Every structure is written in structure tokens, then in C-alpha cells.
């Protein structure tokens, strides 16, 4: 699958290597049921990305996902599945529901007629700005969490898993936006006189820090949100699996 995604230019070379490792860890920890949830996340997120308007997104890294993006989205699911085998399917579904929510929100938000508003300032900002939300993007994110949670519920034959993962995925997306608004590094490229989300601009030049933490990039925020969602998935499993 990673090779096919690399050939289709959905993944860069480092992204394909990382995706292979994530896929192997998920299948080892959570079985083929976990693999199906991962597949649902990857196929649906790639399809929604195709419908996005990247030209409208601020400072996108580009279509080909690199290892940092892959691990930010799937690393927590992979690690959780290996470390906590009994709860693996809950961890994988909850964490990937959060990852899907964020990916779907960014892609559908790029089609919003009204620009998103920044959570800190309340001001309208370009689509794709971290920490900003729009109605259409939020609705899309809820859809992404729901689809991933539904596939998890079907392969596990557990409605409790589906409900828990759906709620965790939506909460993960909101935490992602809050961290993006309050803590993520905000940069400016002096050469292009353009806002940026990265310490090095896509032009190759260094950017200057405007606010937030320099080391906390968009990949870092995504990684924190999916890790919290994985932890919440394990807690939900401990609470609900004995009864339902
Ligand atoms: Zn630049």
C-alpha cells in the first residue's frame, strides 16, 4: 500500500518508509481489523485531500506526505497497538479518528466560502492556518472522525468502540486547534514577506519567530493530539470493554 501511495505521489520516499513501519506495527498489535481501520483512514483522507484546494491553503508542505507527517498522524496508533495489545483496536481507532478529523477538517475547510477565524484573536485568517476554525471545516472533521469510528465499530463488532472513538476523534481535533492557536510556533519569512508555520520556509530560507514555541510545529501539534487520543482510547477500553 505504501509503495502504491508513493507511486501515486501521495507519499514521499521518507513517508512511504514511515507508513510501512506504522502499517506493520498496527497489524502486529491490532491484527487485520486494525489494518482495515488504518486503510479506511488512509484511503478516505487521501480522497478528501484530492478534493481540497491546496492553492487556498496557507503554507502547505505539499501533496506528498513526509515521514514527519505520517508519524504525527499514525505514530501514536502504531506505538499504542504494540505496547497495549488488549486495547490495541480501541487505541488505533481512537487515535486515527483524531488524525482523520484533522486531515478532513483542513481539506474541507479549504473549500469554505468564508475564511476560518483564529481561536486566539477571533480574526479571519487564510484557510489552513493552524488554530483557526470554520463551520465547513469543523463539519468535515466530524465526518472524518465518524467514518473512521464506524469502520472500527464494524470490524470490532462493538458499538461502544465506535461511539468512544468518534467522540475522542472530535475532541482530538478541538485540542489540535487549541494547541495550534496557543502554543504552536508562528513564523514569518523575510525573503518572501509571507507568514509561515515552519522554521524554514518552503523557499529554503530561514524564518523569524513571531510567537509560540519554536520547536512546536504543526507536525508536533498533530502528534500531541493523536497521542492524547490514543491514551483516551486505552482509558475508554478499560472503562467500557468489561461491560459492552
Ligand atoms: Zn520564503
pLDDT tens digits, one per residue of 63-110: 578 899 999 999 999 999 999 999 999 999 999 999 999 999 999 999
Closest CA to 222 of 72, 60, 57, 70: 72
**From the CA of 131, how far away is ligand 1's center (Å)?**
21
Query: Whole-angstrom Cα distance, residue 100 to residue 108?
Result: 12
- Amino acid 52: pLDDT: 83
Asked if 45 and 104 count as a contact pair (C-beta separation under 8 A), the reply is yes
Low-confidence stretches of the chain (pLDDT beneath 50): none
For residue 213, list its beta bridge partners.
184
Question: What is the residue-wise DSSP string for 185-199?
Answer: -EEEETTTTEEESSS
- Amino acid 127: pLDDT: 86
H/E element, 132: strand 132-133
- Amino acid 234: pLDDT: 98
- Amino acid 244: pLDDT: 57
pTM beyond 0.85: yes
Helices and strands (DSSP H and E) totals, the chain: 7, 5
**From the CA of 177, how far away is ligand 1's center (Å)?**
25
Count the Cβ atoms, other than its own, within 10 Å of residue 4. Answer: 10
Residue 213 makes CB contacts below 8 A (sequence gap 6+) with 183, 184, 185
**From the CA of 187, how far away is ligand 1's center (Å)?**
10
- Amino acid 126: pLDDT: 85
- Amino acid 116: pLDDT: 94
- Amino acid 202: pLDDT: 85
Amino acid at each position: 500500500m505504501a509503495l502504491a501511495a508513493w507511486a501515486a505521489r501521495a507519499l514521499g520516499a521518507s513517508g512511504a518508509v514511515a507508513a510501512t513501519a506504522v502499517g506493520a506495527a498496527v497489524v502486529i498489535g491490532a491484527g487485520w481489523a486494525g489494518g482495515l481501520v488504518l486503510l479506511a483512514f488512509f484511503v478516505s483522507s487521501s480522497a478528501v485531500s484530492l478534493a481540497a484546494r491546496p492553492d487556498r491553503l496557507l503554507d502547505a508542505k505539499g501533496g506528498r506526505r513526509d515521514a514527519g507527517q505520517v508519524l504525527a498522524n499514525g505514530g501514536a496508533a502504531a506505538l499504542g497497538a504494540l505496547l497495549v495489545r488488549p486495547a490495541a483496536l480501541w487505541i488505533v481507532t481512537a487515535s486515527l479518528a483524531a488524525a482523520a478529523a484533522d486531515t478532513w477538517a483542513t481539506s474541507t475547510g479549504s473549500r469554505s466560502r468564508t475564511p476560518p477565524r483564529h481561536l486566539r484573536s477571533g480574526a479571519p485568517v487564510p484557510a489552513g492556518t493552524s488554530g483557526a476554525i470554520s463551520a465547513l471545516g469543523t463539519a468535515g472533521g466530524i465526518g472524518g472522525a465518524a467514518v473512521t469510528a464506524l469502520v472500527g465499530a464494524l470490524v470490532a463488532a462493538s458499538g461502544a468502540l465506535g461511539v468512544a472513538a468518534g467522540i475522542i476523534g472530535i475532541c482530538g481535533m478541538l485540542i489540535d486547534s487549541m494547541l495550534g492557536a496557543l502554543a504552536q510556533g508562528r513564523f514569518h519569512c523575510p525573503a518572501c514577506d509571507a507568514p509561515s508555520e515552519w522554521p524554514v520556509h518552503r523557499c529554503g530560507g530561514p524564518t523569524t519567530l513571531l510567537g509560540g514555541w519554536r520547536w512546536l510545529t504543526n507536525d508536533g501539534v498533530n502528534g500531541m493530539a493523536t497521542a492524547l487520543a490514543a491514551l483516551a482510547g486505552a482509558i475508554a477500553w478499560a472503562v467500557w470493554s468489561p461491560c459492552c
